Amino acid sequence: MREIRGEFGRSVRIERVSGDLGRVMDGPTVHELAEACDAGRIMFVRHLTVEIASFEELPPDYELAELVLGELTEYPKALAVQAWTDNAGTGGSSYHRIEQALGERGVTVTRSGQELVVSCFVGRRATLLGLNRLEDSLSDWPGGRMRLARADERVSRSEFKLEEAIATFGLLLPAGGKAVDLGASPGGWTRILRQHGKEVWSVDPGSLDPRLRADRRIHHEATTAGRFFAANRTRFDVVVNDMRMDQVLSARMMVDAAAHLRCGGLAIVTLKGGGKNPLDGARRGLDVLRQEYDVLHARQLHHNRNEITVVARKL
């Protein structure tokens, strides 16, 4: 709420609908909000839609279809439908209701990958229906809650954070080149970087998962980031940093890392902590990063807990 009012003025009204869902009124258009979020000026918003109706419970199918189609000037061939709840449920039954309602009207429904997205949030007190262009939605997942498959080859839960950042921000990691992974143990981010064809220097006093040891293009540097850079002569194309460290200290380490990164090189970093005031902590970390980097994106992603993910390019 502080971020939105800081960007668009104190007259914007925001009310809490549910745990992590708010309603913004008398303020920016959804496109203006999306632009501010995409540029990292607003970090703590993950998903946007435009409310078209709210009810105590979903109305009958014909009304549902009318509500959605009545908002559109052109009859759509296909729509994405994304449903979620304010508890652990997936919103599956609402999805199927809307899928059926629109299907009967000849609209193909998928869960993602369409220009227009119907959102349905089922809360304890209200059910909301929204419609938005994917371009202004920030995420192609229900409520921004990306779900990635668990798989045996994963070496850490942290992998999800890097995968989510790459997918959400549409990052292109060209194959090949050299990457340095700060705070690498047990090696989840290192594994993803290897999948993108990078040779990886994995810096962490902690150990790497045994499954990564046989890979000769992974160099485990069992030391701290500070000591590693003091002796390093390699120039990197990418630096990633998931170190468990206060955001300003972590950002300062990224400033040191910049001397070892080629111009235009990509940086992906999680800035952690902030305690009761994550916004101010994140902003302090970003101010330090800007000494050496152009910040492209900054957002608290679904798989981030008490942290934000920042994507930047070396100036």
Ligand X SMILES: C[S@@+](CC[C@H](N)C(=O)[O-])C[C@H]1O[C@@H](n2cnc3c(N)ncnc32)[C@H](O)[C@@H]1O
- Interface residues with ligand X (CB under 6 A) are 156, 158-159, 182-189, 203-206, 224-225, 242-245
* One-letter-per-residue 3-state SS of the chain: CHHHHHHHCCCCEEEEEECCEEEEECCCCHHHHHHHHHCCCCCCCCCCCCEEEEECCCCCHHHHHHHHHCCCCCCCCEEEEEEEECCCCCCHHHHHHHHHHHHCCCCEEECCCCCEEEEEEECCCCEEEEEEEHHHCCCCCHHHCCCCCCCCCCCCCCHHHHHHHHHHCCCCCCCCCEEEEECCCCCHHHHHHHHCCCEEEEECCCCCCHHHCCCCCEEEECCCHHHHHHHCCCCEEEEEECCCCEHHHHHHHHHHHHCCEEEEEEEEEEEECCCCCHHHHHHHHHHHHCCCEEEEEEECCCCCCCEEEEEEEEC
Angle between helix axes 61-69 and 92-103 (nearest 10 degrees) is 70
The two tokens of residue 26 are 């008398």
CB-closest chain residue to ligand X = 188
Q: Which CB atom, from 97 or from 178, has the smaller least distance to ligand X? A: 178
Q: Which CB atom, from 117 or from 184, has the smaller least distance to ligand X? A: 184
Question: Is 272 among the catalytic positions?
Answer: yes
Q: Which CB atom, from 88 or from 149, has the smaller least distance to ligand X? A: 149
Q: Which CB atom, from 99 or from 159, has the smaller least distance to ligand X? A: 159
Q: How far is the CB of 87 from ligand X (least distance, A)?
A: 27
Q: Which CB atom, from 131 or from 165, has the smaller least distance to ligand X? A: 165
Catalytic residue among 161, 272, 276, 314: 272
Which residues have a catalytic role annotated?
A: 272
